[in-house]
Amino acid sequence: MNQDIQAIGQDVQAASGPIRTLTDEIGKVLIGQEYMVQRLLVGLLADGHVLLEGVPGLAKTLAVNSLAQAVDASFHRIQFTPDLLPADLVGTLIYNQKDSSFETKKGPIFANMILADEINRAPAKVQSALLEAMQEKQVTLGEETHKLPIPFLVLATQNPIEQQGTYPLPEAQVDRFMLKLKVGYPNREEERQILRLHGTSSSPQINPMLKPEDILKARSVVEQIYVDEKIENYILDIVFASREPEEFGLGDLKPLISYGASPRATLFLTRAARAWAFLQGRAFVIPEDIRAIGKDVLRHRVIPSFEAEAEERTSDDLVHALLLGIEVP
């Protein structure tokens, strides 16, 4: 086993170095959002979609655009609006009068990276079309099924401060996202750097550092990262504690949680922890990896009850209590 881990470790060292250069390259234009960039890389390496929540002006769009440029991947930004139709997203069939046949016109979803900007502004049928494509990695137009490009990553943003004219994503659909990130403000010194860097019309350019094929190679290494049985049990304990907290000595959380995490959380937490370990240059997962990425995987899967809301306890508070309450192996 040690020899296997050493061999995986060599692969990790060889593959993770180029991936980490993406952080430096994106850092040329993005100041003070290392948390967001690291989690975007986790989503990219673990083949999981990412939902970013934050007030306007926090460089969410810039981060996604910069990542696509650094990976030299095809990128489309889709601004979600109340009048958007599913065909505007996935494409449609157009009748050609010359030869009396239908031609396929592919929509903007056919790209390696999709920025679904303000996803909660579009009605449910458009959200469903996007989420179906995310899950199936394909789109059916007429009688033909078209595979989406690989890698395929959806990065959706939503604005938490406005409710008028929005269509909140149902909890069952939010579950399709591997990670939900809460993007905060930069500190004063970081904002000073932003002012100096972007205060003029000329901004640094992002250079392509990798190809999409390099991401696929890195993913194959990530999948080999060793997860010990103790780590598996730790992940299962966290997920099961969100459903039956009293069985883990966390009975005070029972009335505060309406619904716990789904089995998808178990899978995503394992995959995300592997990707996090990879970014740290390690061939195996340790409990700190679970704790580092756990809140981002679970915050949209642990649903607070009315009682929790009355006590002003958020899902973040509940997940934090779960992570603290479960014994670390």
pTM over 0.85: yes
> What are the tokens at 168?
């909140």
Per-residue pLDDT, 39: 92
| CB distance 257 to 305 below 8 Å | yes
| CB distance 165 to 58 below 8 Å | no
232 occurs within a structural domain: yes
What's the mean pLDDT in 254-271? 92
pLDDT confidence band for 119 (50 / 70 / 90): confident
Predicted confidence (pLDDT) at residue 42 exceeds the cutoff of 90: yes
20 occurs within a structural domain: no
What's the mean pLDDT in 1-30? 81
Predicted confidence (pLDDT) at residue 107 exceeds the cutoff of 80: yes
What is the total count of domains within the chain? Answer: 2
Predicted confidence (pLDDT) at residue 74 exceeds the cutoff of 70: yes
On whether both 258 and 231 belong to a single domain, the answer is yes
Domain containing 191: what range? Answer: 33-210
On whether both 137 and 173 belong to a single domain, the answer is yes
DSSP H stretches of helix in the chain: 2-26, 34-46, 60-70, 86-90, 124-136, 171-174, 188-198, 212-222, 229-243, 263-279, 287-298, 306-310, 315-325
Question: How many whole angstroms separate alpha carbon 249 and alpha carbon 323?
Answer: 13
On whether both 131 and 280 belong to a single domain, the answer is no
